[in-house]
C-alpha cells in the first residue's frame, strides 16, 4: 500500500460490493493552494465522469495526515471542501496506514 500512497495516482478498488476511486495527492509544491486547486479540479472532474457514466463508485481524495492537519483545517479550505462535498482518506506514510476516512459533512464549521 505504501507504494501507492507515496505516488500521485488514481486507484480503483472493490471490496464487499463497495467500489471506490482514490485520487492520491502529495501536496509537495511550494504553494499548497495551487496543489489544492489542481487536486480539487481533478476530484470534481473524476466525480462527474463517474456520475455521468452511471458507475457506482465513491470517490476519495487521499492526503497525508500532516497535510490534512496543516492545510485542510483552515476555515477557508474547509468551506470549499464542504461546498464541493469532498471525501477524504487521510494516511500516515511513515506508519503505512490509513488514519481516517473523513466526509466533508463531518468537518468543523
Task: Please report which confidence band the pLDDT of residue 1 belongs to, taking 50, 70 and 90 as the band edges.
Answer: very low
Residue % of the chain over a pLDDT of 70: 83
- Kindly report the length of the chain: 109
Say how many domains are in the chain.
Answer: 1
pTM of the model: 0.81
Asked whether 57 and 94 are in contact (CB, 8 A), the reply is: no
Q: What CATH code is carried by the domain that includes residue 101?
A: 3.40.1350.10
Say what the alpha-carbon torsion angle 9, 22, 45, 87 is, to the nearest 10 degrees.
-140
The domain in which residue 71 lies consists of 2-106
Say what the alpha-carbon torsion angle 5, 14, 84, 34 is, to the nearest 10 degrees.
20
Higher pLDDT, 50 or 71: 71
* Cell numbers representing residue 76 in the block: 477557508
Amino acid at each position: 500500500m505504501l507504494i501507492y500512497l507515496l505516488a500521485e495516482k488514481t486507484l480503483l478498488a472493490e471490496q464487499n460490493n463497495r467500489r471506490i476511486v482514490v485520487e492520491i495527492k502529495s501536496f509537495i509544491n511550494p504553494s499548497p493552494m495551487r496543489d489544492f486547486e489542481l487536486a480539487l479540479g481533478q476530484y470534481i472532474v473524476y466525480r462527474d465522469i463517474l456520475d455521468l457514466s452511471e458507475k457506482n463508485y465513491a470517490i476519495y481524495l487521499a492526503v497525508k495526515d500532516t497535510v490534512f492537519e496543516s492545510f485542510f483545517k483552515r476555515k477557508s479550505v474547509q468551506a470549499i471542501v464542504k461546498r464541493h462535498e469532498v471525501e477524504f482518506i487521510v494516511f500516515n506514510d511513515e506508519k503505512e496506514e490509513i488514519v481516517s476516512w473523513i466526509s466533508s459533512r463531518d468537518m468543523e464549521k
